[in-house]
Amino acid sequence: MLLVLSAEHRAHLGCLPRAGGAAFGELGRLALEQLRRGAAPRACESAARQLNIGIDIIQHGVEGLVYLLTESSKLMISEVDFQDSINVLGFSDELNKSLLQLYLDNRKEIRSILGELAPRLPSYHSLEWRLDVQLASRSLRQQIKPAVTMKLHLNQNEDQTAQVLQTDPATLLHLIQQLEQALGEMKMNHCRRIVRNMK
């Protein structure tokens, strides 16, 4: 799976050859620090003075590297696919090797950082349900009005919460069909590849 870079990200990564080989190590360090601790404008200013390079080149280079490393790590791109993805940038072989080494050395740590940043969504614990049928009312002596009431128990951050939902059987059947269709699509090769790359 190749990583497709937008024109903006290509332009940001295009700053890397202008920074020079000696500065690449510093840009890589700044990109990793930004992933670990967030943006650090002072560190970029300090690096620009130290390397005698414009601050905009440093900032764009760091932004380009952060994007390249995070997207590649998210997709767990293989070594060959990473090389193919950056070959379109037209960098020297030495810079391509440095980028590849930076990615290979840090992809596990980057995935772990991205995992910590992901929102903690509630997970399923149990479900209680009840079927109620109204057979008559004061105004209508003969009617059948079914309703399904469900109590959905969820786990979130080691706390349990409950949501009460009520629907009619026709809507519930439609929801079941949609979920079964989604599960069927998950068995397709394309979806399996996406899920495999997400893990």
Q: Give me the pLDDT at residue 72, please.
A: 87
Helix 21-37 with 55-75: angle, nearest 10 deg: 60
Higher per-residue confidence, 162 vs 10: 162
Question: What tokens appear for 83 in the block?
Answer: 């090389």
Q: How far apart are CA 67 and CA 24, in angstroms?
A: 16
Tens-place pLDDT, residues 140-198 = 777 788 999 999 999 987 789 999 999 999 999 999 999 999 888 878 777 776 666 55
Q: What angle do CA 46, 48, 54 make, to 5 degrees?
A: 145
Backbone torsion region of residue 78, taken as left when φ is above 0, otherwise alpha when ψ lies between -120 and 50, otherwise beta: beta
Q: Give me the pLDDT at residue 2, please.
A: 62
Q: How far apart are CA 95 and CA 86, in angstroms?
A: 10
* Residue 95 CB coordination number (10 Å): 19
* Residue 17 CB coordination number (10 Å): 15
Tens-place pLDDT, residues 32-47 = 888 888 877 788 888 8
Mean pLDDT of 95-101: 86
Backbone torsion region of residue 143, taken as left when φ is above 0, otherwise alpha when ψ lies between -120 and 50, otherwise beta: beta
Flag whether pLDDT at 130 surpasses 80. yes
Higher per-residue confidence, 189 vs 109: 109
Flag whether pLDDT at 67 surpasses 60. yes
Flag whether pLDDT at 56 surpasses 80. yes
Q: Choose from 37-46, 49-58, 106-115 the range with maximum mean pLDDT.
A: 106-115
